[in-house]
Structure 1
Amino acid sequence: MIDDEILAGIEAVLMITDSAVTAEDLAGSLGLDEETVLEAIQTLKADYDGDEHHRQRGFEIRHVAGGFRIFSRGDYHEVVKDFLTAGQSAKLSQAALETLAVIAYRQPISRPRIAAIRGVSVDGVIRTLLLRGLIVEAGKEASTSALLYATTPQFLDTMGMNAIDDLPDIAPYLPEDADVAELGAQDTEVLAEIDGALDDDLDDDSDSAAEMSRVAD
């Protein structure tokens, strides 16, 4: 019988991930062997599916893309859809607005790149924007095969624009040394430059301090 703490640990990981997690990765993060992880997943799956003594949950574990994820149960697709699409005139959340802005300025862009720019999972927000008709799938990224997303004519209509070129220039709102074109695409190089600049500043500060010390002496 699988320990409750192991079951809870696997649940915790699967609840926060925005992509499928392999049994190998789960085993490594929890310090278990893969056989135990697979047995635990089957235990959780049976628990979620319910039986004559326990109710069926509104979510389930699915084996997808070589790993495991927790999804809302397919039986309740219409309920979830109605909830997400209820009140189309309702304001978007801050998270949805931020994600929509990233897509608008960087389209077409993949979900992993959006998540990297925002620093949080955007899985649920992407689904909401798709259901609202504000974004659409626009092919796949050549290097990773990840789905790409772009804004729709409905987005332009909602924003009162004729074309995506009507988006305001965001450069004035960014730091002077920020290069919007590099965001996400070459974030490693940009971070390396920033780290290098910080190191140079620290070296300059150290040299200045040493010089002041000599003058004082």
Structure 2
Amino acid sequence: MSERPDTVITAPVEALLLMATEPLGAAELAQALDVPAPEVWAALEELARFYDDTGRGFELRQVGHGWRLYTRTEHADLIARWVTEGQQAKLSQAALETLAVVAYLQPISRSRVSGIRGVNVDGVMRTLVTRGLLEEAGPSQETGAMLFRTSPVFLEKMGFSSLDELPPIAPYLPEASLLEAELAGQAEAILQVDDEAGTPTHDDAARPQGKEDA
């Protein structure tokens, strides 16, 4: 059996890989840890060997110019079945609140949702995308951050024909004050545009004013 890796570097590397939503390069990891890139390369290779030798349910792969954790191929059927059956599971309170933020402020970046809710929402957002309730809306023209919006499945599940049928926020979102303030700020910005440059188009009115967070 493989010996457990020295955790001085491998532990923080592993922590970053667990949080990553896309492959991370050795140089990027080295910069985050403030250590030489060769040491990070050695740690990545050591972790990959350790996962293989100890029969973990996941593996560390080098893909393109980065590294990422993946579930092993032999568990593909199990994962697919679990994901499919999970479509029938109820959403958690955290997922419902995250979905509400996206629904009312879309298109919106993951980091902006985190800022509004005050917690990291990466895992919740992935769950909502997996269930087909959210979808990517393309990168922000200002920051390049990926934006998200609700999907046609969301409208179907809610019984809506359009987002105009969304109900008021407060009764459904316990911490609605921040979101309401955000919407109020957008409305004020739109009115300023109206005063200065005439009535905005429907698309302009629906688009959040101000710089999108990365």
If the length of structure 2 is used for normalisation, what is the TM-score?
0.67
In the superposition, relative to structure 1, how do residues 176 and 131 fare at CA in structure 2: closer, same or farther (>3 Å)?
A: closer
Indicate the residue corresponding to 1:214 in structure 2: none
User: Contact conserved, 2:17 with 2:69, CA < 8 A, in 1?
Assistant: yes
Corresponding position: 1:23 with 2:23: no
What does 1:28-107 correspond to in 2, within 5 Å?
Answer: 28-50=31-53, 54-55=54-55, 57-63=56-62, 66-107=65-106
Structure 1 residue 159: Cα displacement: 1.8
Indicate the residue corresponding to 1:115 in structure 2: 114
Indicate the residue corresponding to 1:170 in structure 2: 169
User: Contact conserved, 1:58 with 1:76, CA < 8 A, in 2?
Assistant: yes
Q: Distance in 2 between matches of 1:167 and 1:187?
A: 23
In the superposition, relative to structure 1, how do residues 46 and 119 fare at CA in structure 2: closer, same or farther (>3 Å)?
A: farther
User: Contact conserved, 1:84 with 1:128, CA < 8 A, in 2?
Assistant: no
User: Contact conserved, 2:109 with 2:212, CA < 8 A, in 1?
Assistant: no
User: Contact conserved, 2:169 with 2:180, CA < 8 A, in 1?
Assistant: no
Aligned-residue sequence identity (percent) comes to 44
User: Contact conserved, 1:116 with 1:184, CA < 8 A, in 2?
Assistant: no
Higher relative contact order at CA 8 Å, sep ≥6: structure 1 or structure 2? 2
1:63-94 CA distance string (max 9 Å, x none): 45754333333553442232233153321012
Gaps of 5+ in 1: 189-217
In the superposition, relative to structure 1, how do residues 65 and 28 fare at CA in structure 2: closer, same or farther (>3 Å)?
A: same
1:10-52 CA distance string (max 9 Å, x none): 21232234454443443344442111111110111122233xx
Instruction: Specify the structure having the higher radius of gyration (Cα).
Output: 1
In the superposition, relative to structure 1, how do residues 165 and 176 fare at CA in structure 2: closer, same or farther (>3 Å)?
A: closer
Indicate the residue corresponding to 1:139 in structure 2: 138
If the length of structure 1 is used for normalisation, what is the TM-score?
0.66
Q: Distance in 1 between matches of 2:130 and 2:119?
A: 20
Indicate the residue corresponding to 2:15 in structure 1: 12
In the superposition, relative to structure 1, how do residues 108 and 25 fare at CA in structure 2: closer, same or farther (>3 Å)?
A: same
Q: Distance in 2 between matches of 1:6 and 1:31?
A: 10
Count of aligned positions = 184
User: Contact conserved, 1:59 with 1:71, CA < 8 A, in 2?
Assistant: yes
1:98-133 CA distance string (max 9 Å, x none): 221122112222333333333433333233222322
Amino acid at match of 2:97: E
In the superposition, relative to structure 1, how do residues 187 and 130 fare at CA in structure 2: closer, same or farther (>3 Å)?
A: closer
SS in 2 for 1:179: helix
What is the Cα-based RMSD across aligned positions, in Å?
3.4
In the superposition, relative to structure 1, how do residues 176 and 130 fare at CA in structure 2: closer, same or farther (>3 Å)?
A: closer
Q: Distance in 1 between matches of 2:64 and 2:209?
A: 24
Gaps of 5+ in 2: 187-207
SS in 1 for 2:67: strand
